Structure 1
């Protein structure tokens, strides 16, 4: 259960990161509200998961999911570069996340 909560929390990190960008410095109410709700939910889930998952592993997986998710959304929906080197680097991050899960 802790791993499922951690994965969902990592996905929520992607949500709040994109909402933060879209809030235009907290000047747009809807993205600012999404940011706040997603941030609190993401942190709460991380805190719950860290009850049973070691902090180093849990935090690295949470950040990795959020970073990869945010980068992918940036490439797919926001017009950021999707060059081969960037994609390879994201695959390396994913392999690190999977490794941390399996060698936990």
Structure 2
């Protein structure tokens, strides 16, 4: 049978041994952000349930973010301050 854990049980079993200061708050924050897989019962009250499948998925750590490589783009040409001014303002700037 699949074991179901509350936030407090999950925090005591898996997060507290890591030495995190407030494990219950840590679990609620990361469960609501989606960093820790869970079943949301009430988001307003911060009630989440954790099954054995959620714990296994979290311990495997397959949900690491992918590194996106941005291609190098050529630098744009420098822009003069006068380019954004009206003709009247450019004349004032020149004088």
Q: Which has the larger radius of gyration?
A: 2
Higher relative contact order (CA 8 A, sep 6+): 1
Structure 1-normalised TM-score? 0.23
Higher strand fraction (1 or 2): 2
